[in-house]
Amino acid sequence: MAKECVILLHGMARSDRSMKTMEAALSAQGYAVVNYAYPSTDYDLETIAKEHIAKAIAQCQPSTKVNFVTHSLGSIILRKYLSEHTMRTLGRVVMLGPPNKGSEVVDRLKNVPGFKLINGPAGMQLGTQHDSVPNSLGGVDYPVGVIAGSSTVNPILSLMLPKPNDGKVSVESTKLEGMSDHIVVPVSHPFLMKNKDVIRQVKAFLNTGEFFRK
């Protein structure tokens, strides 16, 4: 039986399929992996956090240490849940491209017709305003490693963001008060969870609480 569980939370308008490469890599390391699919575009952040994070945790064995690897929106959903719940079994958290301070892309595009239809109510809550959900959650007091991307495959969206950015989130916006470690990789937002170097860094943080540096 695996000694630790890892819950994977995908990003906005994605599914558990986007985390399959990560799932396979961590399973090969001996973790019990829960690749959890949630309706990212159907509800607001509060509803998703309330109704789905506990269901994901319940798929881990009782009393097992529970770690998380989250991509983008999944990071904010987890932060929302942990801001209201104490987890006795919580281990380490790795966030990939998290809009921890919101995203200027949302600021610019939230009123464009079709944006809410594609990204859902939760996507509308990821702006950079002081009272946006990401900025209202405060810092963290549990082990968090943040991996930010600095490459883009979407030059149009990148123009809406401070540099450097990953095409959806700026490196600066990924930072979080209280985080244990932060690293920047030359990978774009949609591919962070599949990149071999990112996966190596995820393994390192889950194992040691810090990222690998040469």
Confidence at 176, pLDDT banded by 50, 70, 90: very high
Position 214 pLDDT exceeds 80: no
Position 2 pLDDT exceeds 80: no
**Phi, psi for 54 (deg, rounded to 5):** -65, -35
User: Structure pTM?
Assistant: 0.95
- pLDDT digit string (tens) for 9-23? 999 989 999 999 999
pLDDT of residue 157: 85
